Amino acid sequence: MIYLIAILGAALAGAINTLAGNGSAITLTILTEVLGLPGNMANGTNRIGIASQSMGATWAFYRNGKVDVRRDALAISLLTIGALFGVWVATQVSNEEFKTVFRWLMVVMLVVLLVKPKRWLRETDLDHRPPKWVTIPAFLALGFYGGFIQMGMGIFFLAVMVLLARYSLLDANVLKSFVVGLYTLLVIVVFQIHGLIDWKIGLLMAVGQTTGGWLTAHYASNSPKANAWAYRVLVVIVLLAVLKLFGIHTYIWALL
């Protein structure tokens, strides 16, 4: 029963990560609270499913003609460099200190999502070139965060790509799947060197995450309403994250 919960939860996380982000909130909870792994071990083990899910989603996007690596080369390079620094820090310190900051970032993100929602539904503007003095530190910071803890990285990534680089939500999700899969392979090597991966559990959850990611990417690639659905899922995920991080869900549950 525990393994079934792990696989189904991982499949849901894979689907959420492909369209929005923060699916690691589900998988990390399963790894720590259900399977009993310590925090750093859960952080490392979680990367196996993230890598396989991202590669599965990227393959589905590629088969449907959505991947353009040449256009995104700079972002991919900077995110990967940032991730290597982030994972090094993750092997040295606990990520507990980031939880307080993370919940307030989710509040800010919810406000950004709900103000002028049309910004999130536009198509990719290929002529827009944001200044490099803004994009370089932004991509490095995103990569660092993804290498450090990953949870919520997809949400912040979409905000940067949609609001700063002016990508559509679909194109931003395609790039997110590719670059996360790429740098996570390197991150796994670092965690493995430090003995922070449980391969048996990680591969088990990877089955669920890959299935969820591939199916969602295939649907999104062929749906004319993919951007709208991605926006709705993103709003719901961020709202649920805020409710949980501030403990508001317990009061709502008590009222019900």
Q: Which residues contact 224 (CB under 8 A, 6 or more apart)?
A: none
Phi, psi of 76 (to 5 degrees): -60, -45
Question: Is 26 in contact with 9 (CB distance < 8 Å)?
Answer: yes
Question: Is 190 in contact with 47 (CB distance < 8 Å)?
Answer: no
Start-to-end CA distance of the chain, whole Å, equals: 28
pLDDT digits (tens, 9 = 90+) for 57-104: 999 998 888 888 887 888 889 998 998 898 888 777 665 666 666 778
Percentage of the chain surpassing pLDDT 90? 23
Over residues 198-213, mean pLDDT: 93
The residue ranking higher by pLDDT, 92 or 27, is 27
Specify the pLDDT at position 165: 87
What is the pLDDT of the chain when averaged over all its residues?
Answer: 86
Over residues 126-132, mean pLDDT: 83
**Burial readout 67-80 (b: 16 or more C-beta within 10 A, e: otherwise):** beeeebeebbebbb
User: What is the spatial distance between Cα 184 and Cα 47, in angstroms, rounded to a whole number?
Assistant: 6
* In the block, residue with structure tokens 């990534």: 157
User: What is the spatial distance between Cα 143 and Cα 179, in angstroms, rounded to a whole number?
Assistant: 9
* In the block, residue with structure tokens 């989603």: 57
pLDDT digits (tens, 9 = 90+) for 143-153: 998 888 777 78
Q: pLDDT at residue 245 above 80?
A: no
**Coil, helix or strand at residue 67:** coil
Q: Which residues contact 117 (CB under 8 A, 6 or more apart)?
A: 231
Neighbours of 40 (CB within 10 A): 18
Q: Which residues contact 213 (CB under 8 A, 6 or more apart)?
A: 14, 15, 17, 18, 52, 53, 54, 56, 57, 60, 177
Over residues 144-172, mean pLDDT: 86
pLDDT digits (tens, 9 = 90+) for 213-238: 999 998 888 888 888 888 888 888 88
Question: Is 174 in contact with 61 (CB distance < 8 Å)?
Answer: yes
pTM of the model: 0.83
To the nearest 5 percent, what fractions of the chain are helix, strand and coil? 80, 0, 20
